[in-house]
């Protein structure tokens, strides 16, 4: 999004529930610090899920050890938050650039500079660099044959592929969205785009129901692009609504109640279990998560435009924004590093089966790995990524 700030002449609304919608629609076109916090929250949730040590036995485990494991496992919802946020941000960028020259060139050029360099660096390291140091452990083995879909961002359409690239399915979903969505935004009016977003959300839900009715692998409902488009499209719908003064005026006073109702519905669904690929989760849970996160972002943006509000305050916290700034590199690196450390280098040392030991080891491991990943991401950004980001200036749009 643009780095512009809110113009000084725009009045700051006194309450997020009766926000000056003109300031909201102008504010959302600039940089919204809270959204960096949303990224940070999403990546921390995902780390909690991914950095679980799979060393507990099936029986004889103390309650507190099993409780810690169950508290960390639902962190997979972070990917749904990322999808909603991506839909919101990308649609906003496209709507701002729609009437300007260089619409497609600017969008695709800037996306390539942000995403490709680090992603393909990871592939090069896994496929060409690491094998030169000798035979790699099975969990880290990768070659051109096993990674062919990853090179073209289609890894989420196949169950095969190296374990170290297992997390790249979500990057593939987003790239496929980026490839198509600019054309959708270009040809539809704001009202037509809003309707299209809701149709896509309904179709995604229908696709997941079909997966279960046909008895297909639940991983299809988790990773397939068609199954996860509800999160991206609902985020996009919020971007459209907040740029329409009339729609924002109607939406703002109702957001708090809608968020409470959606959260209660999600909690009721979670009471039946929120396993990542459980039937209830995939059919109803994904959609409810997308709705809650879309409402959360809408409410947070309006609060931040108003200059007050708990959601905006929490999500604007400096630690969350700091993690958000480096979230992409953290995500790209986290799974290969986790596999290398926990399942190769320290597999024997970490394989304690005592519940008491598990809790201490698990917490220490998660904190240490989070710190290491953050350090790697900072180095990656400042030594590598930002040099590509500087080239974005060559892909700016111009007035039509």
Is residue 8 in a domain?
A: no
Alpha-carbon separation of residue 348 from 55, 69, 113, 343 (angstroms): 10, 20, 40, 8
Q: Can you tell me the distance from the alpha carbon of 395 to that of 102, in angstroms, rounded to the nearest whole number?
A: 8
Q: Which parts of the chain register pLDDT below 70?
A: 1-30, 55-61, 348, 350-356, 400
Alpha-carbon separation of residue 109 from 9, 212, 285, 390 (angstroms): 33, 39, 35, 12
What pLDDT is recorded for position 65?
74
For the beta carbon of residue 249, count every other beta carbon within 10 angstroms.
16
Are 152 and 144 in contact, with CB atoms under 8 Å apart?
Answer: no
Q: Which residue has the tokens 């800037």?
A: 110
Is residue 220 in a domain?
A: yes
Is residue 49 in a domain?
A: yes
As for how many domains the chain has, the answer is 1
CA 66 to chain centre: 27
Alpha-carbon separation of residue 367 from 63, 131, 267, 321, 364 (angstroms): 22, 29, 28, 18, 5
Q: Give me the helices (H) in the chain, please.
A: 21-27, 33-50, 63-72, 77-97, 103-124, 148-151, 168-187, 190-213, 218-223, 229-241, 245-251, 255-270, 279-280, 286-306, 310-315, 318-325, 327-338, 347-350, 355-380, 386-389
Is residue 208 in a domain?
A: yes
- Which structure tokens are listed for 40? 């940070």
Q: Can you tell me the distance from the alpha carbon of 39 to that of 321, in angstroms, rounded to the nearest whole number?
A: 7
Question: Burial level of 7, CB count in 10 A (0-12/13-18/19+)?
Answer: exposed
Domain that holds residue 107: 16-134+167-395
What pLDDT is recorded for position 55?
64
Q: Can you tell me the distance from the alpha carbon of 66 to that of 58, in angstroms, rounded to the nearest whole number?
A: 10
Is residue 280 in a domain?
A: yes
Quick one: which of 172, 178, 230 has its CA closest to 203? 230
Q: Summarize pLDDT for 141-151 with one digit per residue, the tens.
A: 899 999 999 99
The residues near 132 (Cβ < 8 Å, ≥ 6 apart) are: none
What pLDDT is recorded for position 317?
96
Is residue 62 in a domain?
A: yes
What pLDDT is recorded for position 380?
98
Instruction: Specify which residues 399 forms β-bridges with.
Output: 100
Structure letter (DSSP) for residue 243: T
CA 345 to chain centre: 29
Is residue 9 in a domain?
A: no
Is residue 144 in a domain?
A: no
């Amino acid at each position: 999004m643009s780095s512009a700030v809110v113009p000084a002449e725009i009045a700051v609304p006194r309450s997020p529930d009766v926000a000056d919608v003109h300031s909201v629609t102008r504010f959302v076109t600039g940089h919204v610090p809270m959204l960096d916090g949303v990224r940070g929250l999403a990546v921390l949730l995902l780390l909690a899920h991914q950095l679980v040590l799979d060393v507990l036995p099936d029986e004889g485990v103390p309650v507190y050890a099993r409780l810690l494991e169950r508290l960390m496992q639902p962190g997979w919802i972070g990917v749904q938050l990322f999808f909603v946020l991506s839909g919101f941000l990308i649609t906003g960028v496209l709507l701002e650039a729609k009437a300007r020259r260089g619409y497609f060139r600017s969008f695709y050029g800037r996306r390539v500079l942000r995403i490709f360099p680090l992603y393909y660096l990871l592939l090069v390291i896994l496929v060409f660099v690491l094998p030169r140091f000798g035979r790699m452990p099975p969990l880290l083995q990768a070659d051109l044959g096993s990674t062919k879909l990853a090179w073209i961002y289609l890894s989420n359409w196949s169950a095969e592929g190296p374990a170290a690239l297992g997390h790249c399915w979500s990057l593939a979903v987003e790239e496929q969205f980026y490839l198509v969505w600019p054309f959708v935004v270009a040809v539809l009016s704001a009202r037509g785009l809003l309707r299209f977003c809701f149709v896509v959300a309904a179709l995604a839900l229908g696709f997941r129901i079909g997966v279960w009715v046909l008895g297909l692998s639940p991983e299809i409902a988790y990773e397939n692009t068609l199954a996860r488009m509800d999160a991206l499209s609902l985020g996009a719908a919020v971007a459209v609504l907040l740029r329409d003064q009339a729609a924002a005026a109607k939406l703002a006073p109702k957001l708090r109640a809608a968020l409470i109702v959606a959260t209660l519905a999600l909690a009721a669904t979670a009471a039946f279990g929120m396993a990542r690929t459980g039937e209830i989760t995939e059919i109803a849970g994904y959609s409810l998560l997308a709705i809650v996160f879309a409402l959360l972002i809408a409410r947070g943006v309006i609060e931040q435009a108003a200059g007050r509000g708990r959601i905006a305050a929490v999500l604007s916290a400096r630690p969350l924004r700091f993690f958000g700034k480096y979230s992409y590199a953290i995500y790209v690196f986290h799974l290969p590093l986790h596999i290398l450390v926990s399942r190769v280098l320290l597999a024997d040392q970490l394989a304690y089966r005592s519940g008491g030991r598990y809790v201490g080891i698990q917490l220490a491991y998660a904190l240490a790995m989070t710190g290491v990943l953050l350090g790697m991401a900072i180095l990656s950004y400042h030594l590598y990524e930002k040099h590509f980001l500087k080239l974005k200036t060559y892909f700016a749009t111009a007035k039509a």
